[in-house]
Every structure is written in structure tokens, then in C-alpha cells.
């Protein structure tokens, strides 16, 4: 499987889940490399913004930013090797993140089977941008989908970032929660339209501010919390940003 490389090894680390419905719980994160989208504000751009791609990113404006050499930011491991890393940590909650994890479903299925053979208590969350359809086997294997459809603020056309068949499918899956990154009134209007169009259950919709620092989160937080209250949605913060900023591997 293609994972993000951190220093000389894979980006697999033990921390607390910072976002979404499981925020605050201890978890082991496994970061997949590769994404089929290219959000302008993506904070894991090293999983997809490789040398030679045409994508633009907010970081382009920074003098020292350059696209990543694929071989420097990618590492290949098979599911058994990944399981060895996961078993070093005490938690049984595992977050499959990326990049876009659903690009490698078969590998995750093998990993999940291996880990559950070791301990049936393993619980798997998967984070997805909802543009790839989960297979029936993958849906059965994971316990929770953290679905994060991308809005116009990501800088991509709707035809690329909204896949109606996938969202319709996930909307009826009781394992799925829908987390939207928002800052503006325009974002809120767009989320309302998507929630209505795909009949997303209000109790499973979460609003989360965009931000890589506590100050950025604070700038939008109170407005979004009020909007969530008014609509019967949840509000969620980014605890890892508050605790560790944009540091990788924590």
C-alpha cells in the first residue's frame, strides 16, 4: 500500500482524534498517500501535490514552497507490515486517513482482517472525500465513515468534488457522519443545499472551521457554532491544531 512517508518510516502515529464525532478519543492514525482531489487549502498536500502536477495550492504564494518529489514523501508497505506498526500502540481505535483512503480499499480490508484476528476489539474509522464508492466488503469491514464532501471553497469544480451516487449511498449508511469545513455564509448555504439534496440526517452533520492555527479557528468558530445550533447540526473543533499546530505525526 502507498502510505505517506514521515522521515524514514510510514506516517503511522498514536494520538487523539482531533476532529469529528470521535474527537478526544485516543487513536492510531495511518496516513495513506495519494488523493484524487486537489483542495487549494489541503494541509496534507504532501500526499498528492507532486512534482509535475498542474495543481495550484494556497502555499504556492510562500517563497520556500515547492511541490513534493513523490519518492521522498511516499513509502510502500504491505498490510502485514502496517499491522506490525499499529500493534506497537495500545489503542484499538484506528483512523484510516490520507490523502484519500478509498483509493486503496482492498489493502485496508486485508489490514483490518489481520488486526481483528489479533484482537476483535479493533475499531476502524475511515476519512473520505466521498468521491469514491466504498465496496460492500469495505463498508462491512469499517465501523465508521467520517465523510468530508468538499465545497466550492476547495477551488475545484462541482463535477470533480461531488459524486451524487456516492453521497446518496453514504447518506443511507448509519455508519456515516458528514463533516463540512466552512468559514463563510456562502459555505453555509452550500452545505444546506447539499444536506437537503442528499437528505443528510441533521444529527449526522458536523460543521468545522477551516484553520491551521488556534487564531484561525477562533475567527470562524462562534459564527459556525451558532449556525450549527440553528440547524440541529453538530459543531466540531480541530483539537490537534489547538494542541500541536500543524505539526505532523502527533
State in angstroms the smallest separation of the CB of 84 from ligand SF4.
25
Nearest to ligand SF4 of 42, 94 (CB atom) = 42
115-134 positions binding ligand SF4, by CB under 6 A: 129
Query: By C-alpha distance, which of 189, 127, 178, 102 is closest to 153?
Result: 189
* DSSP 8-class letter at 25: S
**Binding of ligand SF4 by 39 (CB under 6 A):** yes
Which residue has 477551488 as its cell numbers?
A: 155
How near is the Cβ of 120 to ligand SF4 at its closest, in Å?
Answer: 30
The least distance separating ligand SF4 from the CB of residue 129, rounded to whole angstroms, comes to 4
Please, what is the minimum distance in Å from the beta carbon of residue 163 to ligand SF4? 12
Site size for ligand SF4 (CB under 6 A): 13
Give the nearer residue to ligand SF4 in terms of CB position, either 130 or 142.
130
| Nearer CB in complex with ligand SF4: 103/114 | 103
Q: Which residue, 15 or 154, has its beta carbon nearer to ligand SF4?
A: 154
Selected binder of ligand SF4 within 5, 31, 38, 179 (CB under 6 A): 38
Shortest distance (Å) from residue 230 CB to ligand SF4? 26
- The residue ranges that bind ligand SF4 (CB under 6 A) are 35, 37-39, 42, 44, 47-48, 98-100, 129, 150
Amino acid at each position: 500500500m502507498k502510505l505517506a512517508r514521515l522521515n524514514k518510516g510510514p506516517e503511522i502515529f498514536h494520538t487523539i482524534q482531533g476532529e469529528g464525532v470521535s474527537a478526544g478519543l485516543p487513536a492510531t492514525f495511518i496516513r495513506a498517500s495519494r488523493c484524487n482531489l486537489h483542495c487549494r487549502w489541503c494541509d496534507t498536500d504532501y500526499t498528492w501535490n507532486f512534482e509535475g502536477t498542474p495543481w495550484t495550492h494556497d502555499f504556492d504564494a510562500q517563497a520556500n514552497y515547492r511541490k513534493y518529489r513523490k519518492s521522498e514523501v511516499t513509502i510502500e508497505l504491505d498490510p502485514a507490515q502496517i499491522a506490525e506498526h499499529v500493534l506497537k500502540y495500545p489503542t484499538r481505535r484506528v483512523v484510516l486517513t490520507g490523502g484519500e483512503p478509498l483509493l486503496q480499499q482492498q489493502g485496508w480490508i486485508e489490514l483490518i482482517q489481520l488486526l481483528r484476528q489479533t484482537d476483535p476489539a479493533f475499531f476502524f474509522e475511515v476519512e473520505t472525500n466521498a468521491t469514491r464508492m466504498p465496496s460492500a466488503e469495505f463498508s462491512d469491514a469499517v465501523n465508521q465513515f467520517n465523510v468530508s464532501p468538499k465545497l466550492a471553497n476547495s477551488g475545484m469544480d462541482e463535477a470533480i468534488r461531488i459524486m451524487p451516487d456516492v453521497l446518496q449511498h453514504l447518506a443511507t449508511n448509519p455508519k456515516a457522519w458528514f463533516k463540512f469545513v466552512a468559514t463563510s455564509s456562502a459555505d453555509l448555504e452550500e452545505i444546506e443545499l447539499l444536506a437537503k439534496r442528499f437528505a443528510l440526517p441533521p444529527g449526522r452533520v458536523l460543521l468545522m472551521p477551516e484553520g491551521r492555527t488556534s487564531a484561525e479557528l477562533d475567527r470562524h468558530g462562534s459564527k459556525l457554532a451558532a449556525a450549527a445550533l440553528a440547524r440541529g447540526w453538530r459543531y466540531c473543533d480541530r483539537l490537534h491544531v489547538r494542541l500541536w499546530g500543524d505539526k505532523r505525526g502527533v
